Amino acid sequence: MPGLTYTAPTSVDAAVKLLAGSSGLAKVLSGGTDLLVQMRSGRMKPELIVDTKKIPGIMDIREENGGLIVGAATPGAVVEANAAMNKAWPGVVEALDLIGSTQVQGRCSLAGNLCNASPAADSVPALYAAAATAVIVGSKGRREIPVEQVPTGPGRTSLAKDEFILEFKFPPRPAHSGDAYLRFIPRTEMDIAVVGCGISVTLDDKGVCTAARCSLGAVAPTVLLVQAMADALVGHTLDDATLAKLDAAAQAACKPINDKRGTIEYRTKVAGVLARRAAKIAFDRASGKTVKAH
Amino acid sequence: MAKSYVSTTINGESAEYLCEPQQTLLDVLRDVVGLTGSKEGCASGDCGACSVLLDGTLVCSCLVLGVEAEGKSILTVEGVAQGDKLHPVQQKFLEHAALQCGFCTPGLIVASKALLDSNPNPTETEIRYWLAGNLCRCTGYDKIVRAVQDAGAVMRGETV
Amino acid sequence: MNYIDSNLKVVGTRPIRPDGVDKVTGRAIYAADTRASGMLWGKILRSPHAHARIVSIDTSKAEKLAGVRAVVTSADFPNIASEEAFVGEGPMNFRDLSANIMARGKALYEGHAVAAVAATTQAIAEDALALIDVKYEVLPHVIDVDEAMADNAPVLHDDMFTSGVTPKPAKASNIAKVVTFKKGDVEAGFKTAEVIVEGTYTTKPVHQAYIEPHACLATYGSDGQITIHSSSQGHFMVRAYTAKLLGMDIANIRCTPAEIGGGFGGKTLVYLEPVAVALSRKTGKSVKMQMTREEVFRGSGPTSGASMDVKIGAKKDGTIVAVNQILKFQAGAFAGSPIGPGCMCGLALYDIEHINVVGYDVVSNRPKVAAYRAPGAPITSFAIESALDELADKLGMDPLTLREKNAARNGSKTHYGVTHSNIGFEQVLAAVKTHPHWKTPVKTGQARGLACGFWFNIGGESSANVHINEDGSVSAATGSPDVGGSRASMGMMVAEVLGISVDKVRTTVADTASIGFTFLTGGSRVTFATGMAVTQAAEKVVDELKKRAAMIWEIQADAVEWRDGKAFPAGSNAGAFEPLDLAAIALKAGRTGGPINAEVSVNAQGAGAGFGAHICDVSVDKETGAVTIERYTAIQDVGKAIHPSYVEGQIQGGAVQGIGWALNEEYIYNDKGQMENPGFLDYRCPVASDIPMIEAVLVEVPNPRHPFGARGVGEVPIVPPMAAIGNAIRRATGVSMPHLPMSPPTILAALSAAGK
């Protein structure tokens, strides 16, 4: 890697200027748990690394207008220790917690997981289900987009060269809401998801679903937000018929590949299984039960 | 290429080094600073043999750039014992024969210490999940888990 | 002397190992931790192709890169003739080993070394690799063993004509040899069978996956003297192979064993050392080499994968009357799979009248296999022990009873000619029967599997010395690299013989110039064979100590008795003297004949075979195919546990490696024959949260050929797990599991195929 430069700017403006001024490949470093592996293997040869962790606020969690804002580079372990996030978005917290080992938890971030743009990223289906938005900063200023508009393909994002994510906004949580994320891996830890499923629901007083967002990971080139799964839930309690429809909708949405982590048949079938299981947890949480997913 | 000057604290003592921007903290510790206790088993964050504490947080030093340690405090396996007094985790690893080849041991010592610092009385399941990022191919983990449980009891003052 | 029935004070206790503090404080020096003044870094260029003719190698651009000091290819190594080698574990041919460490003419697998560079930094060495221009003519490749045996398969070696068949084939093939073992008349046997089970089983190659990648530091002096520090299971093996592959005298090479970060059989041959020496010779500088994890997977040896057919016939009362077994083992790119042990081990556990076993050693375009813990035995036992479980079901018989009924006993003659003696299989099965795990009813939603395993264990050549230091403290050294605590057990045997506490004995592993020849650490031989040597050395020292005491007292040596670390007059007739301890005798050593020490070399025989039985409870998520190991018990005859904690550790570690082999570990290849999972992320070794506590139960049937009754323990425990788990899954799901790994997609597909 000849000529690699590392910088750690202390302001958004400085970071954006550095990114904009780079002539070669410039990479934003948050936790580095993907970037350093890619650099070591030679798959990624940046000329400039912009470490964003010294930018004020980018490692913090705060409440604003009833919602929560999580700094883009906040390590997983910090999010997991945050009471407000655990209360409002246990599915997101659990999803982030599933990324890698304890060691990786000390570094990995939502922004890194999203911008690495792997279809198997654990936190991303949960972010999609949560209707989180990404606040993006760049030379042209600041913009806010739904998280599902960030990844555009494996390893590709909609961010311009001089842009990076500053923070994520999680909307205020209505009463009777719950979310969940489940993934399947061959071992109990340390694997990349073979299939992942995020579900967020809001129920009425009688347990009927009034709003739902559902997502699937590792079954298509990007994480999928699946409207048909949400449609299977909205207007229903979680009875067997609803679960069967959800399972079918999940399987129908899958466009997976055969690879070293799973087959098309396996991924498709397990997507349905995880959808049912995640929905149960999300509904239980929306009904006020405390449920541990893992 | 230009080297960066990094001022940091390693095992309680201030330390300075020059490193290249792509060098990982593991490379720096082993090749620049000369602390070879942290091991390279994979260089991709999958084995945990290079585990260190960075400002008290357990990380794989192969997934941290050397330059990122500027102004931070690093604890490696070499800094876990107090002089010639072994940390309870180290002592219990010895008593329980929780090591065979010993190559994963430095990472496991650091990771186990970090666990007991944050959770003084972990369940077996909590120990196993906390240590899931530390591969050991020799022991089958049984004696490691028992050593950590026993070290926890010592640190809580329940046994010696 | 034999101490089996003695009142032992040290052997059988659990002291802290002598190298322990170094290993928990980060002080222990492994090969990659070594440095030399002015050293260079060596890196290897590896073939991206599974099978290709090397048309040309142009190293000129790489050599011109600033910082590059040398490039070597196969042209820098002597082209040696075919010759069987007996310095490692398992069959090896020097010519093949030479071609394995540096491809000659053809690259035979993806990851095969084709050139190497020495440069001033690792980064420069890596950059230089990219500047080496290798022109390849890509050839068709073959990965799978059954495909490699097919008539139209691409042939790896045009001079490979199957041995072991008559007449000698006229056409070259990938079948290196066929081996046959017969006992009785198998056809007649099957005619008397009332129940027959048949099955086809497959296993995948699995890697030893030691956490420490291969590494070494080599220096070639201008006087032709060579020093090597490396991580291996045998520094004498490193010395012999390096000398042979470079055409040097053994006496000019001194190998120092660094601490070894796991081997499991995978460090019983060389990959880097001869290359590092060649680079050092060319540059005049020390050269350090260390593999990346990816190189370990792509370039070093897994054990064989296999395809096997089994047919077992039995009487209705459970007596097994006949077995037919065909085994086809992948050897990797060069001949030498563990097909021999594969043919022997699976059926060595049972006393069966009629047996016919045929084994094939088959090459294909994958890394050359290396030994892995009981080489061959886990593979064959997966087939036999799975088929036995099906037989038990068909007979309506408890799987333990079936094994008890057919178990090999002392005097049972095996199909490979050896008659068992001093074995403890019956005692192991009795321990299963009375163990709480076996007696506890299976929990709802779970199922239980049982399987057994056998390994020969070996003895062989070992050297050890014991020195009484000037102050009476004791130093002991052996030639056996310590892969799992053997310094502790060696020191304990010395302490027991000398009658002193173990902390008075400091045990080390000596380099090749400092101790007599010692065969490598493998075959579960160190506690047995090196233990025998060190015990005998300690006994010689005791004899000498008695002699010295006699001189001090001016009495006859046979009037001196040694006990509790002191010399006593043997009785009142001998005279009245205050006992002399080691310090007192050492103090006067100069006046009684000089330093007190002894070195003993042995060729130990009578290792004593090992038997084990594993009980495993599993639950299966039938919607995802995920298997959870709920409870696991491993019972094994260990002869005598010198240090029980490390014996248990061997059993627990072996069992967990077997669990990985059973459930998730495999090499995944793409259609170009390239490995797709060369890292710990997707080569899925068990992690701590995958595993329950592993209860190790030590059955002690002493081995009379060892002074303390020890027999090897390290290999047996990897033999039973695959079948134990497979049998449990079969009982949980009602579907047979003949293919490893039993990964979630495999299980779900099997359930789906069975309509479940």
Residue B88, preceding bond cis, omega within 30 degrees?
no
pLDDT, residue B160, reads 82
Say whether B101 sits in a helix, a strand or coil: coil
Instruction: With a cut of 70, say whether residue C227 has pLDDT above it.
Output: yes
Average pLDDT over residues C598-613: 97
d(CA C74, CA C116): 10
Backbone phi and psi for residue C287, each to the nearest 5 degrees, phi listed first: -125, 130
Hey, are the CB atoms on B128 and C30 less than 8 Å from each other? no
B4-79 belongs to CATH 3.90.580.10: no
Average pLDDT over residues C400-410: 98
Q: Are C663 and A255 in contact, with CB atoms under 8 Å apart?
A: no
- What would the DSSP string read from start to end of C593-614? TS-EEEEEEEEE-----EEEEE
The label of the residue with tokens 């002089």 reads B83
Hey, are the CB atoms on B133 and A39 less than 8 Å from each other? no
d(CA C152, CA C130): 35
Hey, are the CB atoms on C681 and A189 less than 8 Å from each other? no
Average pLDDT, chain A: 96
The H-or-E segment that residue C271 falls in is none
Hey, are the CB atoms on A33 and B20 less than 8 Å from each other? no
Q: How close does chain C come to B121, measured CA to CA in Å?
A: 17
Mutate to test the interface with A, among B1, B50, B54, B59 (most CBs of A within 10 A): B59
From the list A186, A192, A270, which residue is nearest C743 (CB)? Answer: A186
Q: How close does chain A come to B26, measured CA to CA in Å?
A: 12
The label of the residue with tokens 């499923």 reads A197
If DSSP states are collapsed to H, E and C, what string results for C49-70? CCCEEEEEEECHHHHHCCCEEE
Domains, chain C, in order of start with CATH, read: 34-139+208-299 (3.90.1170.50), 306-457+608-753 (3.30.365.10), 459-604 (3.30.365.10)
Q: How close does chain B come to C362, measured CA to CA in Å?
A: 28
Cβ neighbourhood burial of A180 (10 Å; 0-12, 13-18, 19+): buried
Hey, are the CB atoms on A188 and C689 less than 8 Å from each other? yes
Minimal Cα distance from B47: which residue of C? Answer: C680
pLDDT, residue C262, reads 97
The H-or-E segment that residue C460 falls in is strand C460-468
The closest of C146, C296, C162 to C231, measured between CA atoms, is: C296
Average pLDDT over residues C406-428: 97
Minimal Cα distance from A76: which residue of B? Answer: B57
**Percentage of the residues of chain A whose pLDDT score is greater than 70:** 99
pLDDT, residue A92, reads 98
- ipTM (interface predicted TM): 0.98
**Percentage of the residues of chain B whose pLDDT score is greater than 90:** 98
- What would the DSSP string read from start to end of C506-565? EEEE--TTTS-----S-TT-IIIIIHHHHHHHHHHHHHHHHHHHHHHHTS-GGGEEEETT
Mutate to test the interface with C, among A101, A190, A273 (most CBs of C within 10 A): A190
Mutate to test the interface with B, among A48, A103, A294 (most CBs of B within 10 A): A103
Q: How close does chain C come to B16, measured CA to CA in Å?
A: 21
Q: How close does chain C come to A45, measured CA to CA in Å?
A: 13
Average pLDDT over residues A93-116: 96
**CA C260: distance to chain centroid?**
13
Instruction: With a cut of 50, say whether residue B65 has pLDDT above it.
Output: yes
| Chain A contact present for B70, CB below 8 A | yes
Instruction: With a cut of 60, say whether residue B55 has pLDDT above it.
Output: yes
pLDDT, residue C92, reads 85
Instruction: With a cut of 50, say whether residue A1 has pLDDT above it.
Output: no
The closest of C598, C596, C594, C595 to C465, measured between CA atoms, is: C598
From the list C16, C26, C689, which residue is nearest B132 (CB)? Answer: C689
Chain C residues with CB within 8 Å of chain A CB: 123, 294, 623-626, 663-664, 668, 676-677, 680-682, 684, 686-687, 689-690, 743-745, 748-749, 752
CA angle C604, C605, C610 (to 5 degrees): 110
State the DSSP code for C383: H
pLDDT, residue A293, reads 74
CA atoms within 13 A on the CB side of A154: 9
Say whether B50 sits in a helix, a strand or coil: coil
Tokens of B68: 């990122």
Say whether A103 sits in a helix, a strand or coil: helix
Instruction: With a cut of 50, say whether residue C706 has pLDDT above it.
Output: yes
d(CA C717, CA C441): 24
Average pLDDT over residues C193-207: 98
Say whether C478 sits in a helix, a strand or coil: strand
State pLDDT tens for residues C239-283: 999 999 999 999 999 999 999 999 999 999 999 999 999 999 999
Average pLDDT over residues B85-110: 98
Q: Which of these ranges, C612-616, C648-652, C752-756, has the smallest mean pLDDT?
A: C752-756
Instruction: With a cut of 60, say whether residue A2 has pLDDT above it.
Output: no
Instruction: With a cut of 70, say whether residue C730 has pLDDT above it.
Output: yes
What separation in angstroms does the CA of A56 have from each of A10, A60, A73, A166, B3? 7, 8, 11, 10, 26
Q: Are C370 and C300 in contact, with CB atoms under 8 Å apart?
A: yes
Start-to-end C-alpha separation, chain C: 62
**Is-same-fold flag (B4-79; B88-155)?**
no
- According to DSSP, the residues that pair with C685 across neighbouring strands are none
Residue C741, preceding bond cis, omega within 30 degrees?
yes
Q: How many CB atoms lie within 10 A of CB B71?
A: 11
From the list B39, B101, B128, which residue is nearest C484 (CB)? Answer: B101
pLDDT, residue B159, reads 87
d(CA C724, CA C694): 14
From the list A184, A191, A269, which residue is nearest C684 (CB)? Answer: A191
Mutate to test the interface with A, among C674, C681, C746 (most CBs of A within 10 A): C681
Q: Which residues of C touch A188 (CB under 8 A)?
A: 687, 689-690
Q: Which CATH superfamily is domain B88-155 in?
A: [2Fe-2S]-binding domain (1.10.150.120)
Q: Where are the domains of chain B?
A: 4-79, 88-155
Hey, are the CB atoms on C293 and B43 less than 8 Å from each other? yes
Average pLDDT over residues C383-406: 98
The closest of A235, A231, A256 to A246, measured between CA atoms, is: A231
Domains, chain A, in order of start with CATH, read: 5-118+133-170 (3.30.465.10), 178-286 (3.30.390.50)
State pLDDT tens for residues C56-91: 999 999 999 999 999 999 999 999 999 988 776 777
Q: How close does chain C come to B107, measured CA to CA in Å?
A: 9
Hey, are the CB atoms on A36 and B130 less than 8 Å from each other? no
Start-to-end C-alpha separation, chain A: 41
**CA C243: distance to chain centroid?**
23
Instruction: With a cut of 80, say whether residue C473 has pLDDT above it.
Output: yes
pLDDT, residue A294, reads 67
Q: In terms of DSSP bridges, do strands A61-64 and A67-71 run parallel, antiparallel, or are they unpaired?
A: antiparallel
State pLDDT tens for residues C150-192: 999 999 999 999 999 999 999 999 999 999 999 999 999 999 9
State the DSSP code for A63: E
